A and B are shown apart, each in its own frame.
Chain A
Amino acid sequence: MTASAARVDAIVLIVDDDEDIREMIALHLGRAGYTSVQAASGHEALAQLRGGMRPILILLDVMMPRMSGRQFCAALAAEPALGTPPVVIISGDAQLEHKARDVGAVGQLRKPFNATDLLDAVARYRVP
């Protein structure tokens, strides 16, 4: 596999109900050569996945209205057809580590994080 910053299939799916943070994450990822797709809710993210998108990583907010990060993970696990993309949860919660383990995420990114933290996490947990 040849790595290329222009690869359109190196998609990071950002699931967060906060538009500002989605955009800022997308901005930094874009500068680092990733393509990002934003979803404002778990339902929206599932719809994207059902539409055939196969991200190299999902950045998932835990606390969201209607469908929480936990529920999203459960739904994802219940549909193996959607693939098993690695999930990194992002949250301001100090108990993040427990939550990450509980929902089956591969890693966590604790708010507030800076651009370096973000890119390190993506590089570490993404599908190669």
Chain B
Amino acid sequence: MSAAGGSLDLQSIGPLLARLRTVCRTSTWLQDAAPDCLAAVRAVLRWPVGVAFRITSAGTEPLGASCADGDPEVGRLLAAPVEPEGAPPQLWGARLDREGVTSIEHGADRALALGISAAGMVQATLLWLGPAEVPAPAGAEALASAVGDLLAALAERERATVLAAEAEESEEKFRALSEAAFEGVALHERGRILLANQAFAQLLGFDSAEEMEGLSALDLAAPGSRALVEENIRSGYAQPYAVMALTRDGRSFPAELRGRTMSYRDRSVRVTAAHDISERKLAEAERSRLVAELQVALAAAQRAVATREEFLSIASHELRTPLTSLQLALQSLEPAPQERRAVEVALRQVDRLCRLVDDLLDVTRLQVGRLELRVERDVDLGNLVNEVVGRFSAELGRAGCAVRLHLQPGVTGTWDRSRLDQIVTNLLSNVLKYAAGAPVDITVDGDDGEAHLGVRDRGIGISAEHLPRLFGAFERAVSTEHYGGMGLGLYIVRRMAELHGGRAEAKSPAGEDGGSRFHVRLPRRPPGDGEGERS
């Protein structure tokens, strides 16, 4: 190989020149764009000795050198230090990072340094050394500029390569993510699909996601849903909404869509996630069906309650009418002395029948929540107890129950008089039934807030196991073998107390003189009555 300045070993110029060559050889565009640059490089390469440096923040680094004809100088240069022997180091240093061409003469030698800039700073310096009589390469200034451009182009290309690799990696990650997503996801721009994942393709009956690119997103909605989808894309609606989707083969199914509009490289694109909600819709349909069934059942139950109410109303009437006739008939009698007892018994039993009918009707009304209190002010509990005891005096006498009253005067309240009467009556009936032959103590007392009615007998008592059930409907603490009754009395006592905002409880203390103690506590004003004591 021969050239004007002797043969050149291009490979020895170093990585920079090698790269320059590669670029020059492979890049047509570069040859077109920078012919001067190439010419300049060739001119440089004909110069007897060339050394290339890269200037970095760490210092000046030799990239390589070329020489002509095995000049012994070359070995010296290649072996570094890069400065020609005898040259003032500071001079070389000063020149090496200067842009453009610097000519340095040193004795018989001459050096030409070319600082090459790219991206606003000196990136490399080409240094030629030769005898002073050899002329410097022509167009060095142009060379500097051209090589600078070349390096800048190389740097840009390198950056682009890195970016492309990063983008590719990023896209791979995105694809991996989108494929891994269980939900169908598609990216579209103004309704045109740019990208879809496999789940999205499968959802809509496509074999692969690639097939979907470029399709109109609106065509994937059933005709009846298109206006909604279009409007939501237009408005950027971000909440989930249900549509009918259309598969490739024309089958429609309910789907839930959720879209988000975002900007991507100055474009407005929308990511839409879709999933099949057929099962949910089926479940909803099933639920609606169940609700409908429940409503039917509820209506039936309500009818049954109404029927029962109606039955009770009629039964009540039907039972009470003969009782009334019977009572009036018995009261009209003027019995002979030996018949008087029989008439008394008959009247008493009519009375008992009346109470049983009342209890049955009350229990039913309590259980359907149809019993309402008719409260009045200043009902005197002590007086009421006196009345009831008076009414029962004959029966109590016959049962051998001496009643001892402990009535604190003035225990009044806002209560339903007839229901309070029922409480006292039922407690006394209980005494008659389970505590005959022993005295009974009835106490009425209380404070400003609460009235207290206590009934203490000395009868059979209540075993601890029965206490919790004692106030339940149809419950009794004793065997039906020994005691009759419907088991409603104490239930009514409790519920009437509760309707008044109070409570009823029973105790059966061991020892002492046995028996049972019943306590009813009633607020003196009904709950919610904010009015103070009347003066």
Residue B361 interfacial (CB < 8 Å) = yes
Residue B295 interfacial (CB < 8 Å) = no
Contact A92 B328 (CB under 8 A): no
CA distance A92 to B321 in the complex (A): 7
Contact B317 A93 (CB under 8 A): yes
- Which residues on the A side are within 8 Å of B365 (C-beta)? 94
Count of chain B residues with a beta carbon within 8 Å of a chain A beta carbon: 22
- Which residues on the B side are within 8 Å of A95 (C-beta)? 313
When the two chains form the complex, which single residue of B313, B321, B332 contacts A28, counting CB atoms closer than 8 Å? B332
Contact B361 A24 (CB under 8 A): no
Please tell me which stretch of A3-11, A38-46, A113-121 contacts chain B, meaning at least 4 of its Cβ atoms lie within 8 angstroms of it.
Answer: A113-121
Residue B167 interfacial (CB < 8 Å) = no
Residue B181 interfacial (CB < 8 Å) = no
Summarize B's interface: helix, strand, loop or mixed.
Answer: helix
CA distance A80 to B420 in the complex (A): 43
CA distance A92 to B325 in the complex (A): 12
Residue B367 interfacial (CB < 8 Å) = no
Query: In chain A between 9 and 49, which residues have their CB closer than 8 angstroms to a CB of chain B?
Result: 18, 20-21, 24-25, 27-28, 31
Contact B316 A92 (CB under 8 A): yes
When the two chains form the complex, which single residue of B325, B361, B374 contacts A21, counting CB atoms closer than 8 Å? B325
Residue B23 interfacial (CB < 8 Å) = no
- Which residues on the A side are within 8 Å of B323 (C-beta)? 111-112
Across the interface, name the chain B residue whose C-beta is closest to A62. B317
Query: In chain B between 355 and 378, which residues have their CB closer than 8 angstroms to a CB of chain A?
Result: 361, 365, 374
CA distance A114 to B316 in the complex (A): 17
Residue A91 interfacial (CB < 8 Å) = yes
CA distance A111 to B327 in the complex (A): 10
- Which residues on the A side are within 8 Å of B332 (C-beta)? 24, 27-28, 31, 115
Per-position 1/0 for B327-360, Cβ under 8 A of A? 1110110000000000000000010001000000
Across the interface, name the chain A residue whose C-beta is closest to B322. A20
- Which residues on the B side are within 8 Å of A114 (C-beta)? 327-328, 331
Contact A24 B317 (CB under 8 A): no
Per-position 1/0 for A100-116, Cβ under 8 A of B? 00000000001111110
Query: In chain B between 13 and 65, which residues have their CB closer than 8 angstroms to a CB of chain A?
Result: none
- Tally inter-chain residue pairs, CB-CB below 8 A: 60
User: Contacts A112-B350, A112-B354: A94 and B328 contacting too (C-beta < 8 A)?
Assistant: no
- Which residues on the B side are within 8 Å of A93 (C-beta)? 313, 316-317
CA distance A118 to B316 in the complex (A): 19
- Which residues on the B side are within 8 Å of A27 (C-beta)? 328, 332
Residue B11 interfacial (CB < 8 Å) = no
Across the interface, name the chain B residue whose C-beta is closest to A17. B321
Count of chain A residues with a beta carbon within 8 Å of a chain B beta carbon: 22
When the two chains form the complex, which single residue of A24, A28, A92, A110 contacts B319, counting CB atoms closer than 8 Å? A92
Nearest chain A CB to B496 CB, angstrom units: 14
- Which residues on the B side are within 8 Å of A110 (C-beta)? 320
Contact A92 B331 (CB under 8 A): no
CA distance A120 to B453 in the complex (A): 32
Contact A115 B331 (CB under 8 A): yes
- Which residues on the A side are within 8 Å of B313 (C-beta)? 93, 95
- Which residues on the A side are within 8 Å of B319 (C-beta)? 92
Contact A24 B350 (CB under 8 A): no
Contact A28 B331 (CB under 8 A): yes
Contact B320 A112 (CB under 8 A): yes
Residue A77 interfacial (CB < 8 Å) = no
- Which residues on the A side are within 8 Å of B208 (C-beta)? none
When the two chains form the complex, which single residue of A20, A31, A94, A115 contacts B325, counting CB atoms closer than 8 Å? A20
Nearest chain A CB to B357 CB, angstrom units: 8
Contact B320 A92 (CB under 8 A): yes
CA distance A93 to B325 in the complex (A): 16
Determine which residue in A91, A97, A112 has the highest number of CB atoms from chain B within 10 A of its CB, and name it.
A112
User: Contacts A93-B313, A94-B361, A94-B365: A111 and B328 contacting too (C-beta < 8 A)?
Assistant: no
Nearest chain A CB to B368 CB, angstrom units: 13
Across the interface, name the chain A residue whose C-beta is closest to B350. A112
Residue A63 interfacial (CB < 8 Å) = yes
- Which residues on the A side are within 8 Å of B314 (C-beta)? 63
Contact B317 A91 (CB under 8 A): yes
- Which residues on the A side are within 8 Å of B321 (C-beta)? 18, 21, 92, 111
Determine which residue in A18, A21, A113 has the highest number of CB atoms from chain B within 10 A of its CB, and name it.
A21
Nearest chain A CB to B179 CB, angstrom units: 73
21 interchain pairs, CB-CB under 8 A: A18-B321, A20-B322, A20-B329, A21-B321, A21-B324, A24-B328, A28-B331, A28-B332, A63-B314, A63-B317, A91-B317, A92-B317, A92-B319, A92-B320, A93-B316, A111-B320, A112-B350, A112-B354, A113-B324, A114-B327, A115-B331
Q: Taking beta carbons and an 8 Å cutoff, which residues of B are in contact with A?
A: 313-314, 316-325, 327-329, 331-332, 350, 354, 361, 365, 374
Q: A28-B328, A112-B327, A115-B331 known; 11 other A-B pairs, CB under 8 Å?
A: A27-B328, A27-B332, A28-B331, A63-B314, A63-B317, A92-B318, A92-B321, A93-B316, A94-B316, A114-B327, A114-B331
The 4 closest A-B pairs by CB, nearest first: A92-B320, A24-B328, A111-B320, A92-B317
